[in-house]
């Protein structure tokens, strides 16, 4: 999922109104922010394999340190622990957002998510085997997340309005490109785009959230 993870971060805003949207997004995408770094380092592996599933051309060969259930539980605990200065409730929400990424991936992926590093048991319900079903689930989630965020963090000025809807439009365009565009040219391009996207989206979200809210 992509905008499905965004949806969860947006929907979490009323649960942690004092937490900037940038941090909510960082939590929801945390394991996908670490993943491209480990790809570049050669620690984890992905293969470009058009037709691997109907929705994505990527074959996630080896990613136990970011996407195994055990690893995500550790990442969730660490992210929450390092967020305690924001408050106990906020730290709990952020830790749960990290874990939500694995839950949505388990719904989407074919069985390629290990339970722990070295596990032979892989999980994944395979939503990505159907493009229409994936689009229906993600777009519905995204619309719900946008609605919840807009209601819980109303715009205080024009910047808050235009910057937010600009980000929403950009995300939908990027989602359409990933869904219907050609496969990525290389694994290195995937990793670089992932790192650049994480920096861009979190900076954009930080700017937005400073202009929204009660």
- Residue 109 phi/psi, 5-degree rounding, is -70, 155
- Among 111, 106, 107, residue whose Cα is nearest residue 59: 111
- Residue 141 phi/psi, 5-degree rounding, is -60, -45
**Structure token digits, residue 179:** 């869904």
Average pLDDT in the chain = 96
Per-residue pLDDT tens digits for 75-99: 999 999 999 999 999 999 999 999 9
Kindly give the residue spans of alpha helices, DSSP state H, lying in 42-186.
64-67, 69-82, 88-108, 131-152, 158-180
Report the length, in residues, of the chain.
214
In a domain, 158, yes or no: yes
In a domain, 37, yes or no: yes
In a domain, 29, yes or no: yes
Has residue 111 got a pLDDT over 90? Answer: yes
pTM value > 0.85: yes
Has residue 175 got a pLDDT over 80? Answer: yes
In a domain, 214, yes or no: no
Q: For 195-203, what is the mean pLDDT?
A: 94
Q: For 190-198, what is the mean pLDDT?
A: 95
Matching residue, tokens 């990613």: 63
In a domain, 176, yes or no: yes
Has residue 214 got a pLDDT over 80? Answer: no
How many domains is the chain built from? 1
In a domain, 102, yes or no: yes
Per-residue pLDDT tens digits for 141-160: 999 999 999 999 999 999 99
156: domain range?
Answer: 3-209
């Amino acid at each position: 999922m992509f905008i499905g993870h965004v949806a969860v971060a947006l929907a979490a805003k009323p649960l942690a109104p004092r937490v900037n949207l940038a941090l909510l997004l960082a939590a929801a995408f945390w394991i996908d922010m670490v993943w491209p770094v480990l790809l570049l380092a050669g620690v984890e592996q992905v293969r470009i394999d058009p037709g691997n599933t109907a929705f994505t051309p990527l074959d996630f060969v080896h990613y136990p340190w970011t996407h195994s259930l055990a690893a995500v539980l550790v990442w969730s605990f660490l992210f929450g622990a390092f967020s305690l200065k924001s408050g106990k409730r906020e730290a709990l929400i952020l830790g749960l957002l990290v874990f939500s990424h694995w839950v949505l991936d388990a719904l989407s992926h074919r069985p390629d998510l290990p339970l722990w590093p070295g596990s032979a048991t892989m999980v994944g319900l395979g939503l990505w085997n159907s493009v229409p079903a994936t689009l229906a689930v993600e777009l519905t989630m995204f619309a719900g997340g946008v609605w919840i965020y807009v209601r819980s963090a109303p715009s205080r000025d024009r910047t808050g309005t235009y910057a937010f809807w600009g980000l929403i439009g950009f995300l939908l365009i990027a989602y359409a490109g990933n869904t219907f565009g050609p496969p990525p040219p290389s694994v290195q391009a995937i990793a670089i785009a992932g790192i650049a996207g994480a920096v861009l989206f979190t900076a954009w979200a930080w700017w937005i959230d400073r202009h929204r809210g009660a």
